Structure formats: structure tokens, C-alpha cells
Structure 1
Amino acid sequence: MLPYLDMQEAEASLGRELSFAEKLWFNYSAKKHDYFLHFHNFIFLLFFYSLIPLPYLLAELIRSKKIHKYKIQPKVKRSFSDMFNCYKNVMQVFLLVAGPLQIIAFSNIKMTGIRTSLPLPSKWEMFWQILVYFIIEDYFHYWIHRWLHTKWGYEKIHHVHHEYTAPFGFTAPYAHWAEILILGLPSFLGPAFVPGHIITYWLWFILRQTESIETHSGYEFPWSPSRYVPFYGGSEFHDYHHYVGGRSQSNFASVFTYCDYIYGTDKGYRYHKSLLHKSKKPSFK
């Protein structure tokens, strides 16, 4: 809730006229409690998880030759019921785990310094903060993911996520409830280390979820803008991790490739790619 009676008081406090975006923010958030604004993150989680995979779902069902040639494992076919069952299972975990977690986490989020106040952050401030969030999340995700591929971690927790050796969009968060908690933790570390505005916080989780859905989509599209991101792994990079399955000791990072390269956990993937290149095969199967 903003500490101003009206917009004029807000402008007097800042010593300038509010920008168009700040006026929109004032009109929306001025009378809303911070807890309500914080809970938006859970609403966005449900909304974007339901929306973003739909183009990939349609591509899988239609199987147009123009699109199907970009499928990484083209011999694997998914029915609507397969994908919808996955969606239902994930939504159940979201409602039973992620929802209560959002309720509990509010005080911790406030403690880190994430603000709802004016002024709004600049575009560059948001860009650099989100970049830091991606780097921090990627590094800690890498080590936790490696641990989940130990014998105990895989058999007790991580095997659920690997039930799909050929992933599709809805499988991105398909996992054991404990994995949702464990691998969700690195996503909160960036905002905790470098707190910003709650809008930046929302955007970070939306982008991270979008990226995760893309890497689990099962398709490697040449027109994807993420292909221009330095050191970005992408769909093919992570698809190999699922293709190998429980035996995989490769491609653990969530977003970038540098951790796997530095620590030598991309050797299997690079060798596999070299074999595909020699045989001129475009995909894993």
C-alpha cells in the first residue's frame, strides 16, 4: 500500500510529475495491501504456465511438416490426454505446495527489501537486476540439480521429473513436491541478494517460467529470440538431459551452458552432437 493520500501528494514527495507508468501503478496499487500484491506472483504462475505451452501443444497435435521438422525427438508422439494429465498433476502440486508457500513467504520477501513504492525502477535497472537473478539462479540450480542426480536424490525425488524422456511444455515444473521446493529456492536468491521493485520481481519469475517452458518444449525453433542470448542452452541442450534420463551426468544448468562447460558435465552432450553432425542427423532420434 502506497503511503500517499492522493497522486498530488506522491508527486510532491518525489518532487516531480509521475510518469505514465507510475500513474498506472499508483491507480492500481495505492489502496492495495502489499500482501495482495505479493500474491500476484502465484496468480501469474498459474496463468502463464497454462498459457505459454499452448503453441507447443498445438504443434504436437497438428504435426505440420513445416513445424514438426524442428522437433528434437520426432519419433515420440504425445496425445492430448497425455499432455492434459501432466497439466492436471502440475496444477495439483502448485495448489498444494506453491500456493501455501506464497502465503508463508510474504514476511521473508518483505524482509529482503523488495518494495512496492514509488518511484518505479528504470528499464536499465530492471534489466541488470534480472540478469543478476538469472546468473545466480543458474549457478545454484546447477549444483542442486547435480545433487539430485546422485543415487539417493534421483531415486527419492528427481526420478519423477524424468518420467518424460521426451519433454513437452507442460513438463517444465512436473516434479516431486520436494523438488519444487528445493529447485525453487535458487529463484528467490537473486531477489534476496539484490532486492528491487515488486514489478521486477514479477517479471523475473514470468521470464524464468517462460524460459523453463521453452527448454522443455521439445522443439528447437530457429526464430526463437533466446538463440541470441550468450551462453544460452536452449531446448536441445536440456532435451539431451531428459533423453539420457536417470543415467545423465550432463547438462545440469537451468539456463546457460558455462557451468557445464567449466565443470566438464557437457562432454556427453558435445560428443553426441559431434556424432549427429557426422551422420548429418538433425535430432536425437
Structure 2
Amino acid sequence: MLPYHTLQEAQVALGRELSLAETLWFKYSANKSDFVLHCHNTLFLCLFYSIFSIPLVLIELSGYEKLNKHKIQPRVKRSFTEMFKCYKDVMQTFVIAVSPLQIISYPTIKWIGIRTDLSLPSVWEFFWQILVYFVIEDFSHYWMHRMLHCKWAYEKIHKVHHEYTTPIGLSAPYAHWAEIIILGIPSFLGPALVPGHITIYWLWFILRQLEAVENHSGYDFPWSPTKYIPFYGGPAYHDYHHYVGGKSQSNFALVFTYCDYIYRTHKVTFVILND
């Protein structure tokens, strides 16, 4: 919680006028505890998971040829009932796994130094910290994901996520509760090693959600901005991993593909399903 009761008090303490962004941040966060601000993360995960998935659901249900020609596995069609069941299962997992994890992690977040003060980060600070978070998670997630493809871990945990051999955006967080916790570790590792403002922390998890939904979308749109990101895997790359399923020992990358190249687990994306 901010140690100021009024805008004037904050300006006097800082010795300057507040920017528009700082003023808005003050009005929003001044009466909220750090714990409440931290718990926003669960709300954002649920909200943006839902928002990012809606266009993909509508495309799938519309059958619009100009859009569906970009579907990676066009022979598989999902009904509204199937997609709603996936959504319901994911939201249930958020309640039983993600929410408790967020609450339990609060003391750690305070200890590592995620701040909530009025000194908001610059655009450059947002950019480089988010980039560092992606790189850190990408490397650690690669090994966690690869571990989940060991026989025992796959059969007991990771197999749930691979029930979708033809992934859809809604299935991005569809997984065993234990996998949510295991793969949550790499997500927290970046902020733990390079702590910043809580707004960066929020944006990081929102972007991760967006990336996960896109990678599981089942559509390889040529106009996607991610097409222009170096070493970005993308939906077709990850779709192959799901298509092979339990036998897959390749394409473990979360975002960037460099680990797959370095450790020789890279496979070219497939095209046979578009025949």
C-alpha cells in the first residue's frame, strides 16, 4: 500500500509533479494492500485467458473458409460443447491450483522485492525486463517440459495436457494441477532473479498467457506479429509436438527454439495434415 493519503502528499514527498501514469496508479492502488495487488494476477490470468481465446472459438465455430484455411489440422473440428468443457476444466484448475499458488507465493514476492511504489518503470525498463523474463523462462521451461516427457512423469502428469493432440487456444492451460505448479516455477524464476515493479509482473503473466493461447491456437496465420520475432516457434511448431503426443521427444520449446537447436530436439514443422 502506498504511504501517501493524497496526491499532494505524494508530490511533496517526491518533490515533483506526478505524471499522468503515476496519478492513475495512485488513484488505483493507494487504498489497496500489496497482497490485494499481488492477487490481481489470478484475476488477470482468468480474464485474459478468456479474452484471448474468444476470437479463436468464433473462428472455429464459424467455419469461415478464408480463416479456416490457416488451420494446421483442418480435418479436426471442435464443437461448442467440447470447447466449453475445456474452458470449464481450465477454470476449475485455476481455482484449485493457480489461486492457492498465488496466495502461497506472496511472501516470496515481497521478499524478492517486487515493488508497488509510485515510481513506475519506463517503456525501456518494461521491454528489457520482459525480454529477460522470456529468455530465463524459456531455458528453464525447456528442461521442465522435457522432464515431463519421461515415462513416469508423462503417464502420471503430462498426459493430461496431451489429451489434445489437436490443440485449441482454450487448451493452453489445460493440464494436471501438478503440471501447473511444476511449470509455474520457470514463470516465477525471471521475476525472482530480476525483480521489478508489479506492473511489469502483471504484464509478464498477461503476455505469457497470450503466447500460450497463440501457440495452442491450431492456426498458423501469416499476418501474426510473432512471425517477425527471431527464433520464435509459433503454433505450427508446437502443434507438431502435440500431434506426436506421448512419443514426442522434440519441439519442447516454449517460445524461442534455440534450446531445441542446441540440444538437438528440433524437428521441422509438419505440413502433411494440410493435405
Q: TM-score, normalised by structure 1?
A: 0.94
In the TM superposition, what are the counterparts of 1:50-129 in structure 2 within 5 Å?
50-129=50-129
2:251 alignment partner in structure 1: 251
| Equivalence for 2:223 | 223
Q: Give the aligned residue type for 1:42.
A: T
| Residues in 2 aligned to 1:13 and 1:129: alpha-carbon distance in whole angstroms | 27
Q: Matches of 1:263 and 1:30 in 2, distance apart?
A: 48
Point out the more displaced range, 128-137 or 99-108.
99-108
What residue number does 1:13 align with? 13
Partner AA of 2:162 in structure 1: H
Which ranges of structure 1 fall in alignment gaps of 5 or more residues? none
Structure 1 runs of 4+ aligned residues shifted over 4 Å read none
Report what 2:28 is aligned to: 28
1:192 matched to which residue of 2? 192
Aligned equivalents of 1:235, 1:284: Cα separation in 2: 14
Alignment partners' CA distance in 1, 2:155 and 2:113: 38
TM-fit CA distance, 1:7: 1.4
Render the CA deviation track for 1:47-99: whole Å, top value 9, x for unaligned: 11111111111111111110011000000111111111011111111111111
Letter in 2 for 1:189: L
Query: 1:284 and 1:39 mapped to 2: Cα distance?
Result: 43
> Partner letter of residue 189 of structure 2?
L
Q: Does 1:213 align with 2:196?
A: no
Separation (CA, whole Å) in 1 of partners of 2:166 and 2:115: 40
- In 1: Cα distance, 2:113 partner to 2:259 partner: 29
In structure 1, what is the Cα distance between the partners aligned to 2:132 and 2:248? 28
Give the structure-2-normalised TM-score: 0.97
* Code of the aligned partner of 2:220: E
- How many positions carry a matched residue from both structures? 275
1:81 aligned partner, one-letter code: T
Matched, 1:203 2:198: no
CA distance in 2, matches of 1:128, 1:102: 24
Is 1:42 equivalent to 2:42 in the alignment? yes
Mark the runs of 5 or more structure 2 residues left unpaired by the alignment.
Answer: none
User: How many angstroms apart in 1 are the aligned matches of 2:101 and 2:189?
Assistant: 15
CA separation of 1:233 and 1:64: change in aligned 2, threshold 3 A: same
Identity of aligned residues (%): 66
Residues 181-225 of structure 1: CA deviation (Å, up to 9, x unaligned): 001110000000000000000000000000000000000111111
How far apart, CA to CA, are the structure 2 residues paired with 1:120 and 1:171?
34
Alignment partners' CA distance in 1, 2:104 and 2:143: 26
Residue identity matched to 2:259: C
Q: Which amino acid aligns with 2:204?
A: W
1:284 Cα offset (Å):
5.1
Q: Which amino acid aligns with 1:66?
A: K
SS of the residue corresponding to residue 264 of structure 1 reads coil
Letter in 2 for 1:151: K
CA drift at 1:14? 2.1
How do residues 145-184 of structure 1 correspond to structure 2 at under 5 angstroms? 145-184=145-184
Q: Report the Cα offset of residue 3 of structure 1.
A: 1.0
Paired residue secondary structure (1:125): helix
Secondary structure, in 3 states, of the residue corresponding to 2:105?
A: helix
Report how far residue 5 of structure 1 moved: 2.6
- Matched residue of 1:111: which SS? helix
Cα distance between partner residues in 2 of 1:104 and 1:120:
26
Q: Which residue of structure 2 lines up, in the alignment, with residue 3 of structure 1? A: 3
